[in-house]
Structure 1
Amino acid sequence: MSDTKKPVRIGCYSAFFGDSPEAAVQLVKSEGANLDYLVADYLAEITMGIFTIKRKQRRIIKHMGGTPGHGKDYVLQFPQYVLRKILPDIIKNGTKIVTNAGALDPVLLKTVIEELLVELKLPKIKVAAIEGDDLMAQYENENPMNTVSLSQFKEFSSFSPVSPTKHDLLSDRLPKPDEPLISLHAYLGARGIAAALDKGAQIVVTGRVVDSALVVGPLMHEYGWHKQAKVDYDVLAAASLAGHIIECGCHATGGNFTDWKLAANSPYGGYANMGYPIVEFDRSGEFIVTKPEKTGGLVTTATVSEQILYESLDPAYYILPDVILDLRQIKLTQVGENRVLVQNAKGRKPTEWLKCCGIFMDGWKMAGQIIIGGAEAKDKAEAVGRAVRDRVNTYYRENGIDQFRDFNIEAVGGETLYGPNNANHSHEIREVVLKMTAHHDDPEALKAFSLELVATVTNMAPGITGFFDRPKPIPNMIHFPGLYPKKEVKTILDIDNQKESIPWSAWDDKASFDKVEPIESVPEAVISKDDDIVKVKLIDLAYGRSGDKGDVSNIGIIARDPKFLPYIKRSITADAVANYMSHVCKGTVVRYDLPGLLALNFVLTQTLGGGGLSSMVVDKQGKTYAQLVVTGLEVEIPSHLLRLSKL
């Protein structure tokens, strides 16, 4: 345990499976970094899907009497390309590492790390593994053809965390009895990580934990929150917020930032040397967000606000295993260059439920791309796409094969993301990538699509070139969120050749968590008849950030100035966003106020074509949606406010 009179410094080097391994080197070796903890988030729904389908295939092969080979169901990048580079430094500095790189097999990764220490002739240090998140493990160990019962599973609503609402019918769809369940993982909390650190672990690897637990666990250990009789849910909420802000890497330091040129052209290399985030957490619950000195990017109230809204739903109900985080009244203050003070996170007792992530299989899909150049490229691409679809369907019909279940055509580069809101100049577009995605129940049938895709080069439009790899059928996996009873899930700590179950903290089983305290909402704009009203692009008045939760997307809008917010709220209504995004949003749009952040959050259901794993559209995760909205919608505002803002 470090000196808790000074802030605990935690840096995060990875936002996803594929983030730069050099980020870990930066955080460990940067001048003045002095980290107490280095954390890394590798897992997303797509990542879990990739791992689980490979494991499922191996287990079925073994069950059928074959030889499946040995699987490495953890993030191989972590021991091979990260730890090898930084182990001597973290041992020297006393920095501890916490990561979910264990994926489906954290215990195996623990063994790999211990072997690596021996190989590199480094001092022996304690390594711990946290497991228990795999809700299908006990079933598949007995028979991989069996699936876990969903009798205790509760559907998750994007609008009300645990109570049925009129919106529940718009949630992600659940598997039918004949659709094989591939995986079901609970999002574990921070107590297992804290227990591992209590026992002296210097490296802790986990499976599926809630992302913020990678930060909450170390802080829980440092300040002994899990040992206190009375829990301060506000400081737990603050720790969870700190984890949420830095778990997505450079999202908090200028990555994906609306004013992108500020980050791209920032000192010390800009995009080429982006600084990864660090939090300095005080035991009071206040914390600073910063980054290493002499690195690119920037940390401002705007960059931090964008990340706070990223992938959020109802801001009053950020449901986590150890606390319910309320985002509505958070206060951000710029206290120095690349230093933002975060205050006023609010927390409540957690629920009796854990969020879980399930994946099931629904047929097969195949995607192929070709480049089309020349005049009217978009029109040519769409004509070619329709022709390929119709040729293959004719072949199916003549050979007694079912038609495509779905077929999607996109001319990437032709503003297909904007739908009917595009610039309507398709005749002027001279270069696109034609992306075609097919969905079918039979992987063999999809081979006809692969053949016809290649044939377009000689029998269709002029200007076709640049074939990518010949496509192959892949399982069409569908992610679905849900809730699972905490009492049915065990957090298992594996350390010192022993395993023990870590108890949950007390939860609220009286549903009082559903009675959120009201706050003062964003005031309504008052427009006088004497006001000179002008229309301004939303991007001139606000920042935007969007993200995904299964088939649900959120679009966060943050005012650049407090006086703009009422006018943004007046013009950018839920109906306005629903109408503008109607080409992708097939569900409901709900708007929430976050007055502390000068922000509005829009939650759009049935918007991503089924979600990142199964979607056939080019933007499977809604990453572009905020940009579509801030550049496409306009705000009515008195002209004198714009003049004042420029003084």
Structure 2
Amino acid sequence: MPPKSGKSNVRIGCYSAFLGDSPEAAAQLVYEEGANLDYLVADYLAEITMGVLAVKKNARMMAGGKNDLINSQLGSDYIQQFLGQVLNRLLPDLQKNKTKVITNAGALDPLGCKAAIEKLCDKLNIKGMKVAAVVGDDMMNGENITTLDTFKNDIISFSPLSVKNLELDADRFPINGEPIVSMNAYLGAKGIAAALEAGADIVVTGRVVDSAIVVGPLMYEYGWEPSKQKDKYYDLLASASLAGHIIECGCHATGGNFTDWRKAAYSPYGGYSNMGYPIVEFEENGEFVVTKPVKTGGLVTVGTVAEQILYETLDPALYILADVILDMRQVQLTQVGENRVHVKGAKGHQATPYLKCCGIFIDGWSVSGTLIIGGEDARGKAEVVGIAIIERARRILKQRGMDDFREINIEPLGSEIALYGVNAKSLNTREVVLRVSATHNERKALQMLANEIMAPVTCMAPGTGFGGTPIPLPNIVHFPCLLPKSKATTEFVLGSTLQKIEWDNWDDALKYQNITALPPIPTATETKGLVKTKLISVAFGRSGDKGDVSNVGIIARDSKYLPYIKRSVTEKVIAKYMQHLCQGSVKRYELPGLLAFNFVLTHALGGGGLNSLLMDKQGKSFAQVVISGVDVEIPADMVPADARL
């Protein structure tokens, strides 16, 4: 059936990839030529955001909600930027254009966000705007703090490598009574779709799967139900989920973070300074086009879209979501016009009996501080200074009868050591930022370390300057886990009416554990006439994080390179090259449709984005490290003219 709007397709644009993305992007997608959106969506939530919000909420609760200083500094439990910098400016035109808004800006308080939007509508004298909130993701049942014992009969490990052995390389749990400050389930899209069906113009949610803000509108517009679409239902949900995954990170699909960065930086209409945000044009058959507003910078190509598809993925056959399992191994991309990429080939399977949850607990304190060190042998000076700071601080701890630091990290940034390890080449650099980090059970121990990080400016190596005042902060830890769907109830509130949403039937037989294998990508067999070139010469790369796991996606620039990449870039090669960062295992997956491989590196981020002491807490640079350092052997006549040998 055609969309309820009566148009030929549904146009959805995403203006926010995270809390901190430019609020000006929303105006671009409302006013720029070629936008004409049916839906404006925004993703504000990541594990780091949820952790920070949870700790802030906890601080207010501990103060009894009466401390004006804490309240003014820490703000609300929803995303205030959404109201103050987006809706406050755009509401009249959104209503005029009949553009609906879907966002997870409700964060820890969707109902509070809903009430604030309604108050803003009154202030702006906007009549008839209906606002809905989707709730049910909070698994803490109103508790401020709890422990793992609360969930001990239900909680299940989440493995990044296996749907059968759920403890394989799983992130650590708060098993020693550490206080859990939040536990939020990744809800699906049905609550959003139902709210739209009930007449909502704006829908705010808490923690939902990122793609749900796109799947919900499409589910509503096309009237998708298992009884109607039958054998096509899960393929349609999978395709919609892929569309959501592609645009949920904003400019990642339009040239942001793209391997061939110069093409985006120097693109027409301002390049990086005026990056276009992504739009999908979704058709009834489940195929769609990715594009952007006409007179904006950046670019939409097979390369930019393929990189984003691989971003933060694990097993590409089992991209597990609340409503569907997306199999992206056979996805095909075609350039069909300037800044227009056609996408098809997503396959879907019935969802699992579980919901992934984002748990946040507090485990002591952490601190990071920096110093600027310049001159001859800056790296050597930085390493000596870093070691001296820690030795001095440990001596003080011992004198005071305090425990040693639980973890330390010394990084001479600018020497390539932090990212490249033994593969570093810029060892003789004359400018370095020394970064010293540590964790401890007591804040006062880290306050002492913070003081000692400042001291070397006058008492250690020449050329040392201040890099900022370190401040000890709670050591916030994210842990992913699974809970049975029967433990979570999705509801939406529109006006004063609350409506419960039922889950689709899930796969109790666990058939998803035996997904059909595809024919393997061929491996090159030639041994003569080969030369080495850097992987970046023949491939794109994109990496991201899932807790303490990083993925490194490698996409061949041409199908002819794929067999050679497969032979040269093995699990063993990546494990060895990244051994200074990856403390777990490395597994390679194949995506023949995208001409790609996805490497999953476990225990590679020092615990994950919230509590890691590493410079790159989220593995954002890992793909660039790999493709700029790892060699691939190809026939001499295949070497590109601009290859990096």
> TM-score of the superposition, structure 2-length normalised?
0.96
Q: Distance in 2 between matches of 1:561 and 1:66?
A: 59
**What are the within-5 Å matches in structure 2 for residues 103-252 of structure 1?**
103-140=107-144, 148-161=150-163, 163-164=164-165, 168-226=167-225, 228-231=227-230, 232-252=233-253
- The residue correspondences of 1:48-447 to structure 2 (distance < 5 A) are 48-62=50-64, 69=71, 72-140=76-144, 148-161=150-163, 163-164=164-165, 168-226=167-225, 228-231=227-230, 232-426=233-427, 428-447=428-447
> For residue 548 of structure 2, what is the amino acid of its counterpart?
D
Q: Tell me by how many angstroms 1:423 deviates.
A: 3.7
Partners of 2:465 and 2:532 in 1: how far apart?
Answer: 43
Q: Residues 147 and 53 (structure 1 numbering): CA distance in 2 closer, same or farther, change over 3 Å?
A: farther
**Partner AA of 1:17 in structure 2:** L
Q: What do you get for the CA RMSD once the two structures are aligned?
A: 2.0
Contact 2:450/2:472 (<8 A) preserved? no
Secondary structure of the structure 2 residue equivalent to 1:579: helix
CA 1:589/1:144 → structure 2, altered by over 3 Å: closer, same or farther? closer
Equivalent-residue separation in structure 1 for 2:168 and 2:147 (angstroms): 30
- Mapped partners of 1:138, 1:266: distance in 2: 49
SS in structure 2 of the partner of residue 591 of structure 1: strand
Shift of 1:471: 1.7
Could you tell me how far apart the structure 2 residues matched to 1:92 and 1:516 are?
47
Q: CA deviation at 1:180?
A: 1.1
> What letter matches 2:170 in structure 1?
S
Secondary structure in 2 aligned to 1:255? coil
Distance (whole Å) between structure 1 residues aligned to residue 442 and residue 603 of structure 2: 26
Maintained 8 Å contact 2:161/2:168: no
Following superposition, the deviation at residue 500 of structure 1 comes to: 1.7
Task: Note the C-alpha offset of 1:419.
Answer: 3.9
- Secondary structure of 1:225's match? coil
Cα distance in 2, alignment partners of residues 598 and 409 from structure 1: 38
Pairwise CA distance, 1:390:
0.8
**Please, which runs of 5 or more residues in structure 2 have no aligned partner?**
none
Deviation at 1:149, TM superposition (A): 2.1
Residues 429-456 of structure 1 deviation map (CA, whole Å, 9 limit, x = unaligned):
1111111111100001211112112211
Q: State the AA in 1 paired with 2:19.
A: F
* Residue 504 of structure 2: aligned partner: 505
Q: Distance in 2 between matches of 1:299 and 1:332?
A: 11
Kept in 1: contact 2:195–2:494 (CA 8 A): yes
Q: Is the 8 A contact 1:59 1:68 kept in 2?
A: no
562 and 394 in structure 1: CA distance in 2 versus 1, 3 angstrom threshold? same
Q: How does 1:617-636 map to 2 (within 5 A)?
A: 617-636=614-633
Aligned twin of 1:19:
21
Residue pair 1:147, 1:181 contacting (<8 A) in 2 also = no
| DSSP-derived class of the 1:357 partner | strand
Give the Cα–Cα distance (whole angstroms) in 1 for the partners of residues 408 and 250 of structure 2. Answer: 35
User: Who is 1:478 aligned against?
Assistant: 477
Q: Distance in 2 between matches of 1:14 and 1:436?
A: 32
- Percent identity at matched positions? 56
Distance 1:188 1:420 in 2: 40
Paired residue type of 1:95 = T
* Alpha-carbon distance between aligned partners in 2 of 1:69 and 1:331, rounded to the nearest angstrom: 49
Equivalent residue letter for 2:441: D
Q: Work out whether residues 311 and 553 of structure 2, in 8 Å CA contact, stay in contact via their aligned partners in 1.
A: yes
Offset of 1:260 from its aligned partner?
0.3
User: Distance between the aligned counterparts of 1:113 and 1:63, measured in 2?
Assistant: 22
How far the C-alpha of 1:421 sits from its partner, in A, is 3.6
Query: 1:139–1:146: 8 Å Cα contact kept in structure 2?
Result: no
Q: Which residue of 1 aligns with 2:563?
A: 566
Query: Would the alpha carbon gap of residues 425 and 110 (structure 1) be closer, same or farther in structure 2, given more than 3 Å must change?
Result: closer
How far 1:66 sits from its partner (Å)? 12
Q: Aligned in 2, Cα 1:26/1:331: closer, same or farther, shift over 3 Å?
A: same
CA 444–422 in structure 1, closer or farther in 2 if over 3 Å, else same? same
Out of 45, 48, 58, the position equivalent to 2:47 is 45
Match of 1:448 in 2: 448
Post-superposition Cα deviations, 1:347-401, rounded to whole Å, max 9, x if no partner, equal 0010110111111111100111111111111111111111111111101101101
What code does the residue aligned with 1:613 have? L
1:465 aligns with 465
2:36 alignment partner in structure 1: 34
Query: For residues 195-243 of structure 1, what are the alpha-carbon distances to aligned partners after superposition, in whole Å with 9 as ceiling and x for unaligned?
Result: 0100110100000000000000000000011374454111110000000
Partner-residue secondary structure (3-state), 1:386: helix
Paired residues of 1:4 and 1:223 also in contact (CA < 8 A): no
What is the identity, as a one-letter code, of the residue corresponding to 1:246? I
Q: Partner amino acid for 1:598?
A: L
Task: Assess, with a 3 A threshold, how the Cα gap between structure 1 residues 643 and 187 changes in structure 2: closer, same or farther.
Answer: closer
Measured after TM superposition, the shift of residue 123 of structure 1 is 2.0
Give me the whole-angstrom Cα distance separating, in 1, the residues matched to 2:426 and 2:543.
Answer: 27
- Match of 2:306, SS state, is helix
Of 9, 12, 18 in structure 2, the residue corresponding to residue 10 of structure 1 is 12
Query: Per the alignment, do residues 644 and 54 of structure 1 end up closer, same or farther by CA in structure 2, a change over 3 Å counting?
Result: closer
